[in-house]
Amino acid sequence: MLIIYLIVLMTLTITTSIMLISSILSKKTVLDREKMSPFECGFDPKTSARLPFSLRFFLIAVIFLIFDVEITLLLPLANVSPFTNIFSWSFSGLFFILILLLGLYFEWYKGALEWSN
């Protein structure tokens, strides 16, 4: 067990020292305006390098991500059904689905699912 602790300590020491040395050596001291500007074949850029981003698309993506994670939390419920009490299994599953439906209804009520405006 002592050998494992020594190996972990030595690994952490080596990686920390390498990260510190690399951060000290890689500091940029000269900030040149020409080097910091975007480069387009030697000419000044005609338009902004930043494109406009749709906030509604981002909200729909976050809602999808939340519901996707909740579905992955529901999947193990089918695997544990033979090992649990049927009442507690059905109550927890229905309660979780009720929370999902309430969240969906709230998003629908607030208009976050309306794509065209």
Tell me the per-residue pLDDT of 7-35, one tens digit each, with 9 for 90 and over: 999 999 999 999 998 888 876 655 656 66
Q: What is the mean pLDDT of residues 49-57?
A: 73
Give the C-alpha distances (Å, rounded to integers) separating 52 from 47, 49, 55, 77, 110. Answer: 12, 10, 9, 42, 24
Instruction: Read off the pLDDT band of 55 (50, 70, 90).
Output: confident
Instruction: Give one word for 116, left, alpha or beta, with left for phi > 0 and alpha for psi -120 to 50.
Output: beta
Mean pLDDT in the chain?
80
Instruction: Read off the pLDDT band of 110 (50, 70, 90).
Output: confident
Percent of the chain with pLDDT over 90: 16
> Minimum mean pLDDT among 31-35, 70-74, 90-94: which range?
31-35
pTM, rounded to two decimals: 0.47
| Residue-by-residue DSSP string for 11-38 | HHHHHHHHHHHHHHHT------HHHHS-
